[in-house]
């Protein structure tokens, strides 16, 4: 009797009744190096078998013929805005947006009001997520109290409370000593610090990439060297302490080179990139449309090419959305006054498939791995795989579905996106979390 058959029989003997069968899809599971037409059997919220032609009586069957069946997508960099900024987003709207976009696990950043910098808030946020969220919501704690960069937050207590990582995202930790102390303090915990990399004095007042385009538009720029300096410093501090750093939303070609070299030296450094930085350039910046205002800003085509190369050769470990919704009245302002960021959970798959996969710039296994197995590995999550007995978090994607982005159909509260009106090819059509099919209308 093979292991898969044993798993099925053991569950039957336990009188477990909740059974789902996903039939005939192309199953792509990079964690297990599996890519084939197969069925996926789910019993009691866990993966029971993955193989062709499973003969089993299930309560619910999903016909996945012509579609991709992959581990539930993971996004380790979102802003769900709770607590205190619920006008922008909350765990209800944000988790619905995640499910609509095919994400079964997201990690929310701590730059809220108040900042999530203590164990009590971490516990409260976990409870809130379990109470109202429809996907797995992980909590990232702040590195410093109030994200002010002056005093370490309750790092160990937050780990005990359930924080999966730490970040002062939205702020660069200028004080190298404080940052070094954080790396030292977390050294034996295995936890990662996610670093927002911009040397503060070089970007003050900047609203887009510094270069010819910013000069032409008369907008103050944020130079790539600000990111490069910050990445270099944090790589050196990680080497010095043996701590783990993760570069958030990397955007500069030189920063990619720095991370690549640091990895060659054995430094514990990883990096992430967003769909927008992979596929959009500063040429799209329009001073009358603040949807393209993000931080770090859109860069040049040379930077985009370097980011893609880094993704393909393993320098960049994962893709995240940096989902950053704002209230409509905040973004409906002059470019220089509008906040940075836009919602990305519901457009990520479409953009990546349209601009990268369908254009032959990335293979399917690599793309799916960067959104499943790799983030799970780096952050130590019980996710990102279709292994037997793993949680049944699954995303079903129609790679050929053509659709048009319309803000009126978003579940997120954020409506300003540079992808509005774009025709995309590829979309998540079903999201299963813990064996439960999310009942969201494809709007």
Q: How far apart are CA 74 and CA 65, in angstroms?
A: 24
Residue 170's alpha-carbon distances to 81, 179, 203, in angstroms, are 13, 15, 13
- Is residue 76 within 8 Å of residue 108, measured between CB atoms? no
Terminal Cα-to-Cα distance of the chain (whole angstroms): 45
Task: Write the CB contacts of 231 (distance below 8 Å, at least 6 apart in sequence).
Answer: 195, 197, 247, 250, 252, 255, 258, 259
Q: Distance between alpha carbon 121 and the CA centroid of its chain, in Å?
A: 22
Neighbours of 115 (CB within 10 A): 22
Q: Are 310 and 247 in contact (CB under 8 A)?
A: no
Q: What is the CA radius of gyration of the chain?
A: 21
What angle, rounded to 10 degrees, do the helices at 224-241 and 176-186 form?
Answer: 40
Distances (CA, A) of 187 to 105, 138, 412: 25, 21, 37
Cβ atoms of 285 and 238 closer than 8 Å: no
Region of residue 297 (left: phi > 0; alpha: psi -120 to 50; beta: else): beta
Distance of CA 398 to the CA centre of its chain: 20
Strand 423-433 versus strand 394-404 pairing type: antiparallel
- Return all residues near 264 (Cβ < 8 A) that are at least 6 apart: none
Query: Which residues have a catalytic role annotated?
Result: 322
Please state, in angstroms and rounded to a whole number, the distance separating the CA atoms of residues 311 and 400. 23
SS (H, E, C) 408-440: HHCCCCCCCCCCCCCEEEEEEEEEEECCEECCC
206 alpha-carbon distance from chain centroid: 25
Q: How far is CA 311 from the centre of its chain?
A: 14
CA 271 to CA 307: how far, in whole Å? 11
Reported for 122-129, long-range contacts at CB under 8 A and 24+ positions apart, including other chains, are 122/158, 122/161, 122/162, 122/163, 123/161, 123/162, 124/83, 125/82, 125/83, 126/161, 126/162, 128/82, 128/91, 129/91, 129/95
Decide if 192 contacts 245 (C-beta within 8 A): yes
């Amino acid at each position: 009797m093979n292991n898969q058959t044993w798993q099925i029989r053991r569950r039957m003997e336990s009188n477990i009744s909740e059974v789902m069968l996903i039939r005939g899809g192309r199953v792509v599971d990079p964690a297990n190096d599996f890519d084939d037409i197969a069925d996926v059997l789910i019993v009691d919220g866990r993966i029971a078998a993955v193989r062709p032609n499973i003969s089993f009586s299930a309560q619910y069957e999903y016909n996945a013929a012509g579609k991709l069946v992959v581990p539930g997508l993971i996004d380790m960099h979102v802003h769900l805005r709770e607590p205190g900024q619920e006008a922008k987003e909350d765990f209800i709207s944000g988790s619905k947006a995640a499910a609509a976009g095919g994400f079964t696990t997201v990690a929310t950043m701590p730059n809220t009001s108040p900042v999530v910098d203590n164990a009590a808030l971490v516990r409260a946020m976990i409870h809130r997520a379990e109470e109202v969220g429809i996907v797995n919501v992980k909590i990232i704690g702040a590195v410093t109290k109030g994200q002010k960069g002056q005093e370490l937050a309750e790092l160990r207590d937050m780990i005990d409370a359930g924080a999966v990582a730490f970040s002062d995202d939205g702020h660069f930790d200028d004080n190298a000593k404080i940052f070094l102390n954080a790396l030292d303090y977390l050294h034996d915990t295995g936890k990662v610090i996610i670093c927002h990399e911009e040397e503060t004095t070089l970007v003050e007042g900047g609203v887009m990439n510094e270069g010819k385009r910013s000069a032409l538009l008369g907008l103050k720029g944020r130079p790539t060297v600000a990111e490069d300096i910050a990445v270099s410093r944090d790589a050196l501090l990680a080497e010095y302490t043996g701590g783990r750093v993760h570069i958030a939303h990397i955007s500069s070609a030189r920063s990619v080179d720095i991370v690549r070299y640091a990895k060659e030296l054995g430094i514990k450094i990883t990096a992430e990139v967003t769909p927008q930085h992979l596929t959009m350039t500063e040429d799209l910046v329009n001073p009358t449309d603040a949807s393209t205002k993000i931080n770090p800003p859109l860069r040049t085509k040379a930077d985009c090419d370097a980011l893609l190369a880094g993704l393909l050769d393993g320098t960049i470990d994962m893709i995240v959305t940096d989902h950053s919704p704002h209230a409509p009245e905040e973004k409906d302002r002059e470019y220089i006054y509008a906040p940075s960021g836009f919602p990305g959970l519901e457009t990520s798959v479409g953009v990546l498939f349209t601009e990268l996969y369908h254009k032959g710039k990335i293979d399917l296994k690599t793309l799916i791995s960067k959104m499943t197995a790799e983030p799970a590995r780096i952050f130590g999550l019980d996710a990102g795989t279709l292994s037997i007995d793993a949680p049944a978090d699954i995303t079903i994607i129609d790679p050929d579905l053509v659709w048009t982005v319309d803000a009126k159909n978003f579940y997120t509260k954020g409506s300003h996106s540079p992808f509005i009106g774009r025709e995309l090819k590829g979309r998540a059509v079903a999201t299963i979390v813990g064996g439960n099919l999310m009942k969201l209308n494809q709007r």
